[in-house]
């Protein structure tokens, strides 16, 4: 396996050398430069690699998948990639909200998706693919998910369970920050569909000081489960961002994220 990897690297090197002048620019914009490879697998002639940009934690985790022909090393740019996280709690199993790469086409050689781990602990992850060469397989690994406060499970006024996940800011700073969340609901233990039709209101406050901040922008739906807005942190210290979900003007669910900067 190691040898094959070396060979494929050589193959890749030769290929890259072959397309001379474009190589440099590809190099400069290497999309995986800041990513960590989590796992790789060879399945019936396809090499699948799974990358992440951080240690797995409760919340929104981006995954990046590359597919290539294990012999020629040639990148496979058309495929369907599906994430299947699963937590086995002994008496029961459950999945998590996922964002599978959209469409069949990779972007810059990457299939991008995300998993929202809703609980800390050991998850088994399966990344399945169905590529343009008709090869089908999966790359499986365990994710040791660290605890955070970035996912809030709230029972809505319609008695459904909603998962509200803080996506941004992950490195908050004083001033204006992008603020985004994902909203999913629990259909059953295996299905957490996106919620696309709610109005989101946010209100940042410093509970220790009893004041908030002006010029915040309520997150607007921006595709999938995502809602994007802006939050103004006027100073360092302990902040709390209250999030209210409304449907047709009626409060559906409320929660708050603690953010310290």
Binding site for another protein (CB under 8 A): 173-176, 206, 208-215, 232-238, 260
Distance separating alpha carbons of residues 121 and 92, to the nearest angstrom: 14
Rounded least distance, CB 217 to another protein, Å: 11
Burial class (CB in 10 A: 0-12, 13-18, 19+), 253: buried
Please state the closest distance from residue 208 (CB atom) to another protein, in A: 5
Q: In terms of residues, how long is the chain?
A: 261
Nearer to another protein, 221 or 230 (CB): 230
Smallest CA-to-CA distance from 66 within 85, 86, 52 is with 52
Tell me whether residue 190 or residue 235 sits nearer to another protein (CB atom).
Answer: 235
Backbone region of residue 146 per phi and psi (left: phi > 0; alpha: psi in -120 to 50; beta: other values): beta
Other C-beta atoms lying within 10 Å of the C-beta of residue 214: 7
3-state secondary structure at position 225:
coil
Q: How far is the CB of 167 from another protein (least distance, A)?
A: 20
Cβ atoms 45, 135 nearer than 8 A: yes
Q: How far is the CB of 201 from another protein (least distance, A)?
A: 14
Question: Which of 52, 231 has the CB closer to another protein?
Answer: 231
CB 96 within 8 A of CB 117: yes
Considering the complex, state which of residue 104 and residue 176 has its C-beta at the smaller distance from another protein. 176
Q: How far is the CB of 227 from another protein (least distance, A)?
A: 20
Nearer to another protein, 83 or 179 (CB): 179
Give whichever of 86 and 206 is closer to another protein, judged by the CB atom: 206
Stated as kind and residue range, the H or E segment containing 124 is strand 121-131
Task: Please state the separation of Cα 161 from the chain's center in Å.
Answer: 20
State the minimum distance, in angstroms, from the CB of residue 205 to another protein: 10
The distance from CA 143 to its chain's CA centroid, rounded to whole angstroms, is 14
């Amino acid at each position: 396996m190691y040898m094959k990897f070396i060979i494929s690297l050589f193959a890749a090197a030769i290929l890259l050398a072959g397309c001379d002048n474009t190589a440099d620019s590809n190099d400069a914009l290497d999309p995986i430069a800041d990513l960590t490879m989590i796992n790789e697998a060879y399945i019936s002639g396809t090499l699948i690699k799974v990358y992440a940009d951080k240690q797995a934690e409760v919340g929104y985790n981006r995954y990046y998948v590359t597919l290539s022909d294990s012999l020629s090393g040639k990148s496979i740019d058309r495929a369907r990639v599906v994430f299947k996280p699963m937590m086995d709690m002994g008496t029961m199993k459950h999945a998590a909200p996922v964002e599978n790469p959209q469409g069949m086409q990779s972007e810059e050689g990457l299939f991008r998706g995300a998993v929202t781990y809703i609980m800390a602990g050991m998850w088994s992850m399966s990344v399945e693919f169905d590529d343009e060469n008709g090869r089908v397989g999966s790359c499986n690994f365990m994710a040791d998910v660290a605890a955070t406060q970035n996912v809030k499970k709230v029972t809505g006024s319609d008695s459904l369970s909603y998962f509200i996940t803080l996506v941004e800011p992950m490195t908050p700073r004083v001033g204006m920050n992008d603020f985004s969340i994902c909203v999913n609901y629990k259909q059953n233990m295996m299905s957490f569909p996106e919620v696309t039709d709610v109005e989101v209101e946010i209100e940042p406050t410093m509970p220790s000081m009893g004041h908030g901040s002006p010029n915040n922008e309520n997150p607007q739906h921006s595709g999938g489960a995502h809602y994007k807005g802006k939050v103004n942190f006027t100073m360092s210290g302990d902040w709390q961002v209250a999030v209210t979900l409304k449907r047709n003007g009626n409060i559906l669910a409320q929660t708050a994220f603690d953010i310290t900067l």
